[in-house]
Structure 1
Amino acid sequence: METGNDTQISKFLLLGLSGEPELQPLLFGLFLSMYLITVFGNLLLILAVSSDSHLHTPMYFFLANLSFADICFTTTTVPKMLWNIQVQSKLITYEDCLSQMFFFILFEGLDVFLLTVMSFDRFVAICHPLHYTVIMNPRLCGLLVLVSWITSILNSLLESLLVLQLSFCTHFHIPHFFCELHQMIQLAYSDTFLNDTVMYVSVVLLACCPLSGILYSYSKIISSIYRISSGKYKAFSTCASHLSVVSLFYCTSLGVYLSSAATQSSHTSAVASGMYMVVTPMLNPFIYSLRNRDIKGALMRFSGMAALKGSIVQG
């Protein structure tokens, strides 16, 4: 066995979703298409929000940040997996593994915080409509996003530094397609009590507490909607897209942890993680664009502007 300092020269093996050679082209095509749809869809949403003055509101400001976080969240894992399939290699260096884990935890936490901030925005808009512009002023919106970034970075940095102190064998197999924190801790041969404690405390503080805030916000929203005499559908439709995204995000993430705990199968956990990390960010732009007239209009105007510029350039 090597000492903790010797892990700097280690090379790890990512076992991926399947070791069967005949399935590799199928996995490559499937994940490549989903990754391209995710990047294109979220990037188009960001461009539509930034180019349309009608969408320069707190809700769409948070939505653009969520789309950016989703692009980065998927990019931390999928390109490396596609590269490994293409070159038929499962190797990843210790430095790359640690970097991948750092950015994965960062953008996962950022997703959680942005969804919580967006639920607070809908709570203020529906429960306190007369004070909405005063409460959700540009300064507060920027501060909420900044705090979300700082908290996510600090949490990710703490988790990564604790993993850095662990000792591993010179080579070991990760039964996943990316360097997942829980798998890394399980495969270390040094004492992981502090890592486990910090990880579980982090889950409680940075996942359960935001979820409680989201549930509280929507309980107040639903209560307020039931009290109004007219316009209930219009009031609820303004937050239906966000509620759908929150449900999708937490249901898939909960499925990852439940499948891992119930079956103790690394393959099942890897498949569930693939759904959680690729499918959810891919569907978010469709959910917001299909259920939101403002986004539809902005996308149409943006596509019209792009077509007009293209015709001018050609002329």
Structure 2
Amino acid sequence: MTVFARVAATRSFSAAARDLGISQATASKHVQTLEDWIGTRLLHRTTRRVGLTEAGESFFAQCTRILEDMETARQVGRPDARIRGSLRFTAPVSFGTALLGPILVGFMQQHPDLTLNVTLVDRAVDLMEEGYDLALQVIHGPLEAAHQPGMLIQQLMPMPFEVCAAPDYLAGAGTPETPADLARHVCLADNRHPGDVWRFVGPEGAVEDVPIPSRMRSDNGVLRREAARAGGGILLAPAFLLADDVAAGRLVRLLPGYRAQEATLCAVCHSSRAALPKMRALIGFLMARFQPAPETGSS
């Protein structure tokens, strides 16, 4: 498996053999034995290059994780062991673009032997099938309803949502005073949530589900925000995505007496991988980063 992983990484039997201190013939024999054991071809071989088959791509991702986990297990007994290897995870596009970069720099400074491979994606991913260690996900509604067998969900921080629109849009269409008024407006909806229903909590605590008319739907929060800034309609989006535009007057907060239902930013991973040091390190770092600082009383 180690030989195959090195051949797959370098796309070369000769380079892999050099790195591992074995002959090219021995490297080729190891890979052939692995293919015979699995029962499928993992590599395309030509006189000029080596490439991965579709099965090889999937197996490479899996065996890389296995080899890293073996190295992690080897290091666990050493009290001075540093976290090594790589950590592959996903995050929502808007959140990752706006906030995640500086946070991850701080994490890498604490763990200089760990590399990060981050994919920003606005869809649900199959962690095991696609070879990811972890996913940062925005979960709407109770966390219990999102639970899946074999998966661990760790809450990182609440994510409040706000309703906004551009001043030009409001000048022409008017300003809604209650959630029910949204029926007379153009709204910019998230197409990952079918039904086009926005939930609000009123001044007395009553929950109100409001069907909203939408001429534009997108799974990307930045696109919806830019459309709202251009006067395209009313937007419901995470507060972090709107803060700069609200402060600059490019967007105006609406429905001040009502609170849009909050979501929760969570770390999701397979329960079998949750105890790995690299996973615990990242989740612990994010929890410490996102939890509010304790209030200090005056003496």
TM over 0.5: no
Give TM-score scaled by structure 1 length. Answer: 0.20
When the two structures are superposed, what TM-score results if normalisation uses the length of structure 2? 0.21
Which protein has the larger Cα radius of gyration, Structure 1 or Structure 2?
2
Work out which structure has the larger RCO, using CA pairs closer than 8 Å and 6 or more positions apart in sequence.
1
More strand, by proportion: 2
